[in-house]
Amino acid sequence: MQLRKRRVKDYGKHAYRLFLGALFRRKTDRCGKLLRVGGGVTVSKAKRAKLRIGNYVILYRNAGLYLDSDNAVLEIGDHTFLNRRSEVMCKQHVKIGSHCAISWDVTITDTDYHALEGAETTKPVVIGDHVWIGCRATILKGVTIGPGAVVAAGAVVSKDVPAGTLVAGVPAKPIREGVRWTL
């Protein structure tokens, strides 16, 4: 009997997230099927900015998507999830691949928001397919993370990460190559 009640309760949460996903579609320029959205997801979008979301994406409670210029393009690939309180700040281009697992309290930004003399303030961020980003990690402007890479919890990634590499630390450095992970 308990198992049956749990299944009904889980089904209710799933249906509610699908309902919120259907409402959320209006905020996107392109959205695949079966988007699931938790409550309190924030979208701040400049007038001509582009938000493109793939199939079977999950945006958990209190995630934030900030497209802060008319040139901003944020793309999230199929079967990717962005967990609680994680934020993506985009002024130019942030691309997150398919089958990515982005943990809670992660920050991904393609901009510094403030200018240092002689430095570019905005550079695109590309996160490849099947990338796992641990909790409280920060991905900074101009970074490309290769397919299958893993970013450890709390890491600050300021340089490119090769495919299949585990990085950790502040600043993030390669710890192990040839890693494989499963969800």
> Is this model's pTM higher than 0.75 or not?
yes
In the chain, alpha helices (H): 2-24
Kindly give the confidence (pLDDT) of every residue in the chain, 183 residues in length, as a single tens digit, with 9 standing for 90 and above.
454 444 445 557 778 878 888 888 888 889 999 999 988 899 999 999 999 999 999 999 999 999 999 999 999 999 999 999 999 999 999 999 999 999 999 999 999 988 788 888 899 999 999 999 999 999 999 999 999 999 999 999 999 999 999 999 999 999 999 999 887
Which residues are catalytic, by number? 114
The residue to which tokens 């943990």 are assigned: 103
- Cα distance between residue 17 and residue 5, in whole Å: 19
CATH 3.40.50.1970 fits 2-177, yes or no: no
Domain boundaries, the chain: 2-177
Burial grade of 60 (CB within 10 A; 0-12, 13-18, 19 or more): buried
